[in-house]
Amino acid sequence: MVLGTGSHVGKSLMTTALCRIFAQHGYRVAPFKSQNMSLNSAATIEGLEIGRAQALQAEAAGVAASVHMNPILIKPSGDHSSQVVVRGKIWGRVTAADYHRRRIEELLPVVRESYDSLASEYQVIILEGAGSPAEINLKQHDIANMRMAEMAEASCLLVGDIDRGGVFASLLGTLELLEPDERQRVRGFAINKFRGDANLLEPGIRMMEERVQKPCVGVVPHLSSLMLEEEDSLGLPATTQTQWTPAQASNSSTDRALRVAVIALPSFSNFTDFDSLRAEPSVSLLFCRTAEAITQADVVILPGSKQTVDDLLWMKRSGLEIAIKQYAQTGLVAGICGGMQMLGKTISDPTGMERDGSVAGLGLLPIHTIMQTEKVTRNAKGQLAAAVLFGQSVANSGVSGYEIHIGHTEYEAGAKHFSTLSSETDPSGISRDGCICADTRVFGTYLHGIFDEDSFRHQFLGAARGFHKLSSPRKMNLWKQLREDSLNRLAREVESSLDMKTVFDWVGLPYKVPLEDTYPQLRSAGVGR
């Protein structure tokens, strides 16, 4: 089990790396996180919802994502309440106090059943903790850390983030706050995201090992430019650009980057939808909350939202609604899932799934959305319905992604849908998706992950650049290959940094050091002790 001294110390990517390493050594391995709090989710092949981090970890392990890998997903819907998804389906909405005091014990058997189901199918399970195992105010009902470790009889690796500072205090404090039997289950610690001179770190590691009587199994370097989801998050990446510089905004060269503005909604969900766009060398993408950024953009995108109506009302209050509607008179606008619903004429919520009543949308697409009690969750693929996008001719492009939404969209007479889809589990069931306006400058789709499809992303960028009379990109990425390369790079770096023989010993499996010609980085970087 990978534990952390706190949130965002690198537990998710460490788990991802270990899944890939064990898979590369020929073992059937699966990830498991009993309880995950995240607005980033993914759809399994069965059409069920799990945390996006566990979907990435399954990808690293080379296995299909299963709802058992993340039986409880908590999706915050405000400061005091959350939607709880159990085994991929909406279970209810609860307050934090009610969940911790009563609901956790009710759901513990579900967690146990899911873990046992995975354990019966795989040789190795890599568990991921949540936050810190030493939250002493919550430990009594914590089913994501030490209680889960005991249930699985797991050896634990404690990870600290040196990039944040105070890593030794964080490691020591975490261990000191654990009960003696819990502390014994932690077999060693690792330091993550290291930069600088390792010789300066060495004395601290030795003092720490003597103090806690546990080994440091390695120091993992800070890895930049990984094309992977960093961690589950309720917000945007801390390094995200939020405003174009004057030089970027005024650049009139036909070779300049395409400026893409994604509205940073308060309840922004699945911001990983835009990772593939951000990685394109011909794109300058920012997450914005200002009218000025909208006016400077070449394309404005409204993303998914956990609280669609609340976020729409926020845009009305902040003046962004007016700015987007003015921009749409001559510019290019796209909406993903909740963003598409906002682009329509009305959103109504008769059963109070998000908020009672009805609210007017931006009116840029001739559609109406009605919130429903049942959530649509499925992987889907299909084709664009039209051969024109942003006024530019496009080939008959395939699209793919996943749907996670509770809204049902109805079309006005004459409205054109954006694409035609079929479910991966039911190719015979054809459905229409999204909407595109008559002049093709505004479109919406329910498909999360649509930009991860190379063919569509390339045509989207080509059409947007063509509309603005910009030159064609000199280079465009192959996203799936970049992700695979990143997974392999992550695994190589972690394997070269940790004492993997010790880690494999904890699991009870033999470890064979990779050959020089398989991982040439290992010898040059230095294998962990």
Q: Which residues are catalytic?
A: 337, 448
* Nearest residue to 263 (alpha-carbon basis) of 313, 228, 305: 305
**Beta bridge mates, 436:** 416, 443
Cα 314 to Cα 339: distance, rounded to the nearest angstrom: 13
Token pair, residue 394, equals 């496009």
The H helix count followed by the E strand count for the chain is 18, 28
Question: Judging by DSSP bridges, how do beta strands 186-194 and 29-32 pair with one another?
Answer: unpaired
3-state DSSP assignment of residue 27? coil
Residue-wise DSSP of 229-288:
-----SS--TT---S--HHHHH---TTSPEEEEEE--TTEE-GGGGHHHHT-TTEEEEEE
Rounded to 5 degrees, φ, ψ at 124 are -130, 135
3-state DSSP assignment of residue 134? coil
Cα 99 to Cα 154: distance, rounded to the nearest angstrom: 25
Q: Rg of the Cα trace of the chain?
A: 24
Strand ranges in 341-441 using DSSP code E only, listed in sequence order: 346-349, 357-360, 367-384, 388-389, 392-393, 398-411, 419-423, 426-433, 435-436
Report CA dihedral (123, 1, 47, 342) to the nearest 10 degrees. -160
Rounded to 5 degrees, φ, ψ at 345 are -85, -40
**Which H helix or E strand runs over 487?**
helix 479-497
Q: In which residue are the tokens 């004429």 written?
A: 345
